[in-house]
DNA sequence: TTAAAAAATAGACACTGTCAACATTTCCGG
DNA sequence: CCGGAAATGTTGACAGTGTCTATTTTTTAA
């Protein structure tokens, strides 16, 4: 894997090593810019999956989750970069808004999950936090190929559907 | 935050810049060694919390989860280092065993969760994978201070207890 | 004690990010 | 169209880094 570096970018662009400075003050800013673009595509991917699914709450949740996982699958390095920037969301102007745009998707679908709890802010927070936590954990483990127990037995990552139905209890 | 580097380590040890080479072939190996020690302490922390809790399944699960979170809270950088090595578990001799030792804790407690499913390998795998996924996601988000919605509203991370009871359905 | 093994040293090399001074190009208002 | 201003590119330098080599020192053990 070719490592991300300002000089490598300059090289690939056929430009001198100091040129990137005019566009990105330093390496962290470049990473922030890449992460910003990543979050935008991330949200788009989730929304694209949602658009192709039935409108009911459960389908939308599953579609967004599948979009989430598909993005991670296709952009493992970018995904890691994105969430390695999560503690420096002020490094690039549009990074914080872009990350919230992605989070907003999960907020939206989580709203449909427990309608009777929507009046309770704490309950609503728990639902969306739980959803976020779970999908994020799954994605991280998948991006890092860390499902070793599962892999040892089946040679594959566990399918999202096999562990995700836990949320069906939410709309009972 | 002082960045981890071989030369910085040599400096702090009051030794020449080439000395570490005799103990760690390269930087990745040093990181692997640190991660190995981290996984061992990680498992110890979870087991210590479990030892101080009632023996029933739910208490043990909650205790291990609290140990998990406590470790992350006290060792954020080490935790990130540990799980950034998850794709290179062969870099250091004892790293893979140490990481499995930590995973074994969660496997243990997850066994108590759905006794009637233990005969079904797939069911059992789902339970422990779900538990692992969820706690890991929570820990990552906490380590990266990424509960921004919650923080914006309450100024605090969501408590594990507020989102964790989702698993109570498992032993119904 | 002495030979072998382990550890430390010093120098070199190729990278990296970052900075400053300078040159070039592009753009836009007069 | 032109000329200044802004943007962009260039070059050289510096301090850091990982990594390699040859050499020396220290420790270990037979």
- Report the sign of the C-alpha dihedral through residues A85, A72, B61, B108, in that order: negative
Residue A150 with chain B: CB contacts under 8 Å: 125, 129
Residues in chain A within 8 Å Cβ distance of B128: 149
Of the listed ranges A40-49, A59-68, A142-151, B20-29, the least confidently predicted one is A142-151
Q: Which nucleotide is nearest to A23 (CA to C1')?
A: D8
Contact present, A162 and B123 (Cβ < 8 Å):
no
The percent of residues in chain B predicted with pLDDT above 90, rounded, is 55
- pLDDT tens profile B19-75: 999 999 999 999 999 999 999 999 999 999 999 999 988 889 999 999 999 999 999
CA-to-C1' span, A27 to D13 (A): 19
Cα-Cα-Cα-Cα dihedral sign, residues A107, A109, A112, A114:
negative
Which chain A residue lies closest to B157 (C-alpha atoms)?
A129
Q: Domains, chain B, ranges and CATH? A: 24-171 (1.10.357.10)
Helix axes B121-143, B95-111, angle to 10 degrees: 110
Q: Which nucleotides of C are covered by protein (CB under 7 A)?
A: 6-12, 15-21
* CB contact residues (below 8 A), chain A span 115-144, against chain B: 121-122, 125-126, 128-130, 132-138, 140-141, 144
Roughly how many angstroms between the first and final C-alpha of chain B, as a whole number? Answer: 47
Longest dimension (CA), chain A: 61
Predicted local distance difference test score (pLDDT) of residue B22 = 97
The Å distance, CA of A26 to C1' of C21, is 19
Q: Whose CA is closest to A130, among B103, B66, B135? A: B135
**In the structure encoding, which two tokens stand for residue B7, read together?**
């030369």
- Place A38 in a pLDDT band, splitting at 50, 70 and 90: very high
Q: Span A120-147, mean pLDDT?
A: 74
**Residue in chain B nearest A154 by alpha carbon:** B122
Rounded Cα distance, B5 and B82, in Å: 16
């Amino acid at each position: 894997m070719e490592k991300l570096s300002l000089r490598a970018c300059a090289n690939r662009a056929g430009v001198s090593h100091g040129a990137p400075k005019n566009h990105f003050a330093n390496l962290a800013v470049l990473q922030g810019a890449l992460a910003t673009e990543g979050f935008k595509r991330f949200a788009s991917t989730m929304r694209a999956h949602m658009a192709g699914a039935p409108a009911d709450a459960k389908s939308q949740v599953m579609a967004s989750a599948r979009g989430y996982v598909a993005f991670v699958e296709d952009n493992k390095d970018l995904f890691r970069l994105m969430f390695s920037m999560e503690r420096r969301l002020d490094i690039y102007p549009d990074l914080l808004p872009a990350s919230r745009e992605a989070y907003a998707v999960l907020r939206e679908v989580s709203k449909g999950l427990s309608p009777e709890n929507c009046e309770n802010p704490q309950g609503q927070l728990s639902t969306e936090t739980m959803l976020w936590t779970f999908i994020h954990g799954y994605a991280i483990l998948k991006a890092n190929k860390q499902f070793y127990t599962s892999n040892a037995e089946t040679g594959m990552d566990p399918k999202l559907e096999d562990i995700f139905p836990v949320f069906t209890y939410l709309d009972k």
